[in-house]
Amino acid sequence: MHEYSIVSALIEQCEDLAKQHQANAIRRVEVKIGILSGVEPALLSQAFETFKLDGICANATFNMHIQPLLLMCNQCGIESEQTARTVICPHCQSNDTRIMDGEDMMLMQLEMDTE
Protein backbone atom coordinates (compact mmCIF):
# COMPACT_ATOMS: atom_id res chain seq x y z
CA MET A 1 0.00 0.00 0.00
CA HIS A 2 1.84 3.08 -1.23
CA GLU A 3 -0.40 5.40 0.81
CA TYR A 4 1.85 4.68 3.82
CA SER A 5 4.93 6.00 2.01
CA ILE A 6 2.94 9.01 0.78
CA VAL A 7 1.81 9.84 4.32
CA SER A 8 5.31 9.36 5.65
CA ALA A 9 6.61 11.91 3.14
CA LEU A 10 3.66 14.23 3.86
CA ILE A 11 4.31 14.20 7.61
CA GLU A 12 8.00 14.82 6.98
CA GLN A 13 7.07 17.82 4.83
CA CYS A 14 4.76 19.08 7.60
CA GLU A 15 7.57 18.75 10.16
CA ASP A 16 9.97 20.68 7.91
CA LEU A 17 7.44 23.48 7.40
CA ALA A 18 6.70 23.60 11.12
CA LYS A 19 10.41 24.01 11.87
CA GLN A 20 10.71 26.80 9.30
CA HIS A 21 7.86 28.68 10.99
CA GLN A 22 8.88 27.84 14.57
CA ALA A 23 5.61 25.96 15.13
CA ASN A 24 5.30 23.40 17.88
CA ALA A 25 2.15 21.68 16.61
CA ILE A 26 0.06 21.29 13.49
CA ARG A 27 -3.71 21.56 13.90
CA ARG A 28 -4.91 20.95 10.35
CA VAL A 29 -3.51 19.43 7.16
CA GLU A 30 -5.33 20.00 3.87
CA VAL A 31 -4.48 18.15 0.68
CA LYS A 32 -5.86 18.07 -2.84
CA ILE A 33 -6.10 14.63 -4.42
CA GLY A 34 -6.76 14.26 -8.13
CA ILE A 35 -8.99 11.36 -9.11
CA LEU A 36 -6.24 10.11 -11.44
CA SER A 37 -3.47 10.50 -8.85
CA GLY A 38 -3.47 6.80 -8.01
CA VAL A 39 -4.12 7.61 -4.35
CA GLU A 40 -7.02 5.94 -2.56
CA PRO A 41 -8.52 8.62 -0.23
CA ALA A 42 -9.83 6.18 2.41
CA LEU A 43 -6.47 4.43 2.67
CA LEU A 44 -4.64 7.76 2.78
CA SER A 45 -6.83 8.96 5.64
CA GLN A 46 -6.30 5.72 7.54
CA ALA A 47 -2.53 5.93 7.00
CA PHE A 48 -2.47 9.54 8.22
CA GLU A 49 -4.35 8.63 11.41
CA THR A 50 -1.86 5.81 12.02
CA PHE A 51 1.36 7.73 11.34
CA LYS A 52 0.47 11.04 12.97
CA LEU A 53 0.42 9.63 16.50
CA ASP A 54 4.06 10.18 17.44
CA GLY A 55 4.86 13.54 15.91
CA ILE A 56 3.98 17.16 15.42
CA CYS A 57 0.73 16.18 13.66
CA ALA A 58 -0.56 14.11 16.61
CA ASN A 59 -3.68 16.25 17.11
CA ALA A 60 -4.10 17.41 13.51
CA THR A 61 -7.25 16.99 11.49
CA PHE A 62 -6.79 15.73 7.95
CA ASN A 63 -8.95 17.26 5.21
CA MET A 64 -8.96 15.97 1.65
CA HIS A 65 -10.35 17.80 -1.36
CA ILE A 66 -10.96 15.45 -4.26
CA GLN A 67 -10.02 17.17 -7.54
CA PRO A 68 -12.14 16.11 -10.52
CA LEU A 69 -10.48 15.50 -13.84
CA LEU A 70 -10.23 18.66 -15.93
CA LEU A 71 -9.97 17.91 -19.65
CA MET A 72 -9.36 20.06 -22.70
CA CYS A 73 -10.62 18.51 -25.92
CA ASN A 74 -8.25 18.98 -28.83
CA GLN A 75 -11.08 18.30 -31.31
CA CYS A 76 -13.92 20.56 -30.18
CA GLY A 77 -11.91 22.89 -27.90
CA ILE A 78 -14.27 22.52 -24.95
CA GLU A 79 -12.91 22.27 -21.41
CA SER A 80 -14.85 19.87 -19.21
CA GLU A 81 -14.80 18.54 -15.68
CA GLN A 82 -15.16 14.80 -15.14
CA THR A 83 -15.86 13.01 -11.90
CA ALA A 84 -15.31 9.64 -13.58
CA ARG A 85 -11.92 8.26 -14.55
CA THR A 86 -12.31 8.80 -18.27
CA VAL A 87 -10.47 10.94 -20.80
CA ILE A 88 -13.30 10.91 -23.36
CA CYS A 89 -14.75 14.34 -24.18
CA PRO A 90 -18.38 14.37 -22.97
CA HIS A 91 -19.33 16.83 -25.74
CA CYS A 92 -17.95 15.21 -28.93
CA GLN A 93 -16.85 11.78 -27.60
CA SER A 94 -13.28 12.27 -28.85
CA ASN A 95 -10.40 10.66 -26.98
CA ASP A 96 -8.04 13.37 -28.31
CA THR A 97 -7.99 15.22 -24.98
CA ARG A 98 -5.40 16.81 -22.72
CA ILE A 99 -5.54 16.47 -18.94
CA MET A 100 -5.33 19.91 -17.33
CA ASP A 101 -5.83 18.88 -13.68
CA GLY A 102 -6.75 15.86 -11.61
CA GLU A 103 -3.56 13.77 -11.69
CA ASP A 104 -1.71 15.19 -8.67
CA MET A 105 -1.74 15.14 -4.92
CA MET A 106 -0.70 18.42 -3.30
CA LEU A 107 -0.33 19.78 0.20
CA MET A 108 -2.59 22.83 0.06
CA GLN A 109 -2.63 24.26 3.58
CA LEU A 110 -1.36 23.76 7.12
CA GLU A 111 -2.68 25.34 10.26
CA MET A 112 0.06 25.54 12.91
CA ASP A 113 0.45 26.50 16.56
CA THR A 114 3.41 28.72 17.31
CA GLU A 115 2.84 29.10 21.04
> What is the domain-level CATH number for residue 89?
3.30.2320.80
| Among 104, 110, 27, residue whose Cα is nearest residue 66 | 104
Binding residues for Ni(2+): 2
- What is the domain range of residue 79? 3-113
Q: How many structural domains compose the chain?
A: 1
User: Which tens digit of pLDDT belongs to each residue from 61-106?
Assistant: 999 999 999 999 999 999 999 988 899 999 999 999 999 999 999 9
The mean of the pLDDT values for the chain is 93
Q: How far is CA 49 from the centre of its chain?
A: 16
User: Which tens digit of pLDDT belongs to each residue from 7-17?
Assistant: 999 999 999 99
Q: How confident is the model at residue 53 (pLDDT cuts 50, 70, 90)?
A: confident
Binding residues: 2, 73, 76, 89, 92
Distance CA 88, CA 75 (A): 11
pTM above 0.75, yes or no: yes
Q: How confident is the model at residue 1 (pLDDT cuts 50, 70, 90)?
A: low
